Amino acid sequence: MNMDDFLELMQHQIRANTSDRNADSLPAATVAFFADAFRLFDKDQDGYLNMDELKNALSLVGQDGSAENLMAASDANKDNKLDFDEFVEMMKDIDV
Ligand SMILES: [Ca+2]
Ligand SMILES: [Ca+2]
């Protein structure tokens, strides 16, 4: 998928799920979509989004100014990188 497809999908998926903040009950298609996005953003493929990768990801959706705040808010185990579970929580909170 190209970036336009991605942004369109992301907006659709997030709007569809804004009323549902429980990761366990996300539809499988949404989880698969988040997994695709996570792999797209995880440039070095180490299974985590570090600050640089997060900034790059956020710049794609026009949120690049808020990377530090989002990292602080989403990094549940405080290792200064986002694992997939933390990423899903962030994606549910982000407003694109
Ligand atoms: Ca990474
Ligand atoms: Ca973390």
20 pLDDT above the threshold of 60: no
pLDDT, greater one: 32 or 3: 32
Domain that residue 49 falls in: 3-15+27-93
Q: Cα separation of 11 and 32, whole Å?
A: 15
Q: Is residue 80 part of a domain?
A: yes
CATH number of the domain that 66 lies in? Answer: 1.10.238.10
- 27 alpha carbon to ligand 1 midpoint, in Å? 25
19 C-alpha vs ligand 1 centroid, how far in Å?
Answer: 29
Predicted pLDDT of residue 35: 92
19 is written with which tokens? Answer: 């009323």
CA distance 77 to 37: 21
What pLDDT score does 3 carry?
A: 73
Structural domains of the chain, count: 1
Q: Is 32 a member of any domain?
A: yes
In a domain, 22, yes or no: no
Write the CB contacts of 8 (distance below 8 Å, at least 6 apart in sequence). Answer: none
Ligand nearest to the CA of 38: 1
pLDDT value for 28: 84
Sorting pLDDT into bands at 50, 70 and 90, what band is 84?
very high
Backbone angles phi, psi at 76, to 5 degrees: -65, -35
Residues, CB within 5 angstroms of ligand 1 (ion):
42, 44, 46, 48, 53
> Closest by alpha carbon to 37, among 15, 78, 65, 8?
8
The CA 60 to ligand 2 mean position distance, Å, reads 21
- Whether residue 17 is predicted with pLDDT greater than 70 in this model: the reply is no
